[in-house]
Amino acid sequence: MRVGYIQTSPVFGEKEKNFENIDKIISKNKADILVLPELFATGYTFSSKNEVNSLSENLEGKTAKFLINLAKKTKGLIIGGYVEKSKNKLYNSAMIVSQKGILGNYRKLHLYYKEKLWFSPGDLPLQVYKFKEINIGVMICFDWFFPETTRTLALLGADIIAHPANLVLPYCQNAMVTRCLENKVYAVTSNRVGSEKRGEDNFQFTGKSQITSYNGDILSSAPIEEPFIDLVDIELENVRDKSINAYNHIFKDRQIQFYF
Amino acid sequence: MRVGYIQTSPVFGEKEKNFENIDKIISKNKADILVLPELFATGYTFSSKNEVNSLSENLEGKTAKFLINLAKKTKGLIIGGYVEKSKNKLYNSAMIVSQKGILGNYRKLHLYYKEKLWFSPGDLPLQVYKFKEINIGVMICFDWFFPETTRTLALLGADIIAHPANLVLPYCQNAMVTRCLENKVYAVTSNRVGSEKRGEDNFQFTGKSQITSYNGDILSSAPIEEPFIDLVDIELENVRDKSINAYNHIFKDRQIQFYF
């Protein structure tokens, strides 16, 4: 299985330009799973709900069409973030698409900072998607902070966590090592680079997109400031058996009667 | 508040010698909380249940007496691991003592490797102990691997996690950064050094006892191979408010309806 990410530097509000920039990076790469950043087509630092609304789409919009076309090139699954509008609510979402169309939609559960002014928190259960033989869990950016997110996805059977992000804090890349170890899963964190100064907010995104192995190894780490693409080969059988030695099985060993 | 650890190199089966070695290290240190390693008086690498039984104690044994005397010197709380025997069961436990006597007892929930042959898993709820103004949660070694342990202790109100350990894997010290960040708590991991070759087992303990801050900073890191003591001053008010910015509160933001 070949999995990877594109790390981009979105131009705020310029969807077509952001699509073009990804087309330039992707060229002829084949990938079973390719993860794009959170809100990769729109940028992140909104200044009003009207602005968020004007950049919103549903699963039949131009971002969906772009990603389905992209999947025709990679021949695999693409996971990428977008501003979703559904029944007059706005969500910070990620769509999961193949060349055949939309496979799923995830609405970010844990909103960070002013996202709470623009978006409704996710109202759909965490879910695992199947593509070929891979079970894929999806979470977005700040979801990493809550160990329950990755844990729930792993208990649902995820082999790999697709993790679109727009990280501004410096902690996530290192935390993903622990997230993968404690659940014996792979993870692909696709972060963005660049900065956005809008109104009183001035965000510097931290780059360093990362592919993390079930054993805590960092299989790929992107630069801090430049767009980047990387793909690595992984073995699914490594994560299907949750034993870590002859005595310990990380799910069976849970003492859930004592957990809150 | 002054908190810290003693990192020791226990001699297997030699309780008196291990007590003496700690007395030599501690001298005149005052500490509100002092954490000793898991099984600090007995060593770790048992070869039979009879052997474990022969080293077991209850809360009125010589290890309890030693720790209460130690607390008279530090004028604070001591947390240290021991082999507990209770109603014919053996537990990998830690006692929490002050100069006045026993304050609490924790039985390790998540047993590692052959500990499963010797010990029963903990059968007591996770609990937070109060000393002066500090709320102290206790977990032992491999409990770190399960994010639910620290999470439960933090939800119970722990300001600081006292974490006696005998670490043989290389992951815990780094994972404690994430454990502290995700729960906004301090942690004191007291590890041992040295090696134990007994029967087919040959463990090299990883040292690097660590005091980790609620913001992910490592406030103290011990050497890999030598006994060591360190104490640092911490501020409790930093961990009592679980807000991390004007919009996010790490407990109120939990979306428990979607967690397994």
B-chain residues near A214 (CB < 8 A): none
B141 is catalytic: yes
Nearest 10 degrees: CA dihedral of A246, A248, A251, A257?
Answer: 140
Contact B174 A175 (CB under 8 A): no
Closest CA to A66 of A19, A5, A10: A19
Where residue A27 falls among pLDDT bands split at 50, 70, 90? Answer: confident
B108 is catalytic: yes
Question: What's the whole-number average pLDDT of chain A?
Answer: 97
pLDDT digits (tens, 9 = 90+) for A50-105: 999 999 999 999 999 999 999 999 999 999 999 999 999 999 999 999 999 999 99
User: Which of B15, B57, B84, B108 is an active site residue?
Assistant: B108
Q: What is the pLDDT of residue A51?
A: 98
Give the mean model confidence (pLDDT) for residues B144-156. Answer: 98
Q: What is the pLDDT of residue A28?
A: 80
Question: Per-residue pLDDT for A126 more than 90?
Answer: yes
pLDDT digits (tens, 9 = 90+) for A136-194: 999 999 999 999 999 999 999 999 999 999 999 999 999 999 999 999 999 999 999 99
Total domain count, chain A: 1
Q: What is the pLDDT of residue B29?
A: 86
Question: Per-residue pLDDT for B244 more than 90?
Answer: yes
Where residue B28 falls among pLDDT bands split at 50, 70, 90? Answer: confident
Nearest to A260 among B152, B175, B253 (CB): B152
Contact B126 A258 (CB under 8 A): yes
pLDDT digits (tens, 9 = 90+) for B207-226: 999 999 999 999 999 999 99
Nearest to A109 among B110, B113, B255 (CB): B255
- Counted residue by residue, chain B has a size of 260
**Range(s) of the domain holding residue A193:** 2-258
DSSP SS3 for A23 = helix
Where residue B27 falls among pLDDT bands split at 50, 70, 90? Answer: confident
Residue bearing tokens 């010197």:
B73
- In chain A, the N- to C-terminal Cα span, in Å, equals 36
pLDDT digits (tens, 9 = 90+) for A210-256: 999 999 999 999 999 999 999 999 999 999 999 999 999 999 999 99
pLDDT digits (tens, 9 = 90+) for B91-104: 999 999 999 999 99
Q: Reading across the β-sheet that carries A77-86, which strands appear in turn?
A: A101-107, A89-98, A77-86, A33-35, A2-7, A228-233
Q: What is the pLDDT of residue B252?
A: 98
Closest CA to A156 of A139, A178, A140: A139
B60 is catalytic: no
Q: What is the CATH number of the domain that holds A25?
A: 3.60.110.10
Distance of CA B90 to the CA centre of its chain: 18
Chain A with chain B: Cβ pairs closer than 8 A: 117
Question: Per-residue pLDDT for A29 more than 90?
Answer: no
Where residue B23 falls among pLDDT bands split at 50, 70, 90? Answer: very high
Question: What's the whole-number average pLDDT of chain B?
Answer: 97
Give the distance from residue A143's alpha carbon to the nearest chain B alpha carbon, in angstroms.
Answer: 10
Prediction pTM value: 0.97
Contact A148 B256 (CB under 8 A): yes
Contact B258 A145 (CB under 8 A): no
Q: How many CB atoms lie within 10 A of CB A200?
A: 7
Question: Per-residue pLDDT for B82 more than 90?
Answer: yes
Closest CA to A1 of A76, A105, A63: A76
Query: DSSP strand E in chain A: where?
Result: 2-7, 33-35, 77-86, 89-98, 101-107, 128-131, 134-138, 160-164, 186-190, 195-198, 201-204, 210-212, 218-221, 228-233
Q: Measure the CA–CA gap between B70 and B52, rounded to whole angstroms.
A: 24
Q: How many CB atoms lie within 10 A of CB B133?
A: 11
Residues of chain A whose beta carbon is less than 8 angstroms from a beta carbon of chain B are 109-116, 121-122, 125-126, 142, 145-149, 151-152, 155-156, 171, 174-175, 177-179, 181-182, 216, 245-248, 250, 253-256, 258-260
- Phi, psi angles (nearest 5°) of residue A57: -150, 170
Active site residue ranges of A: 38, 108, 141
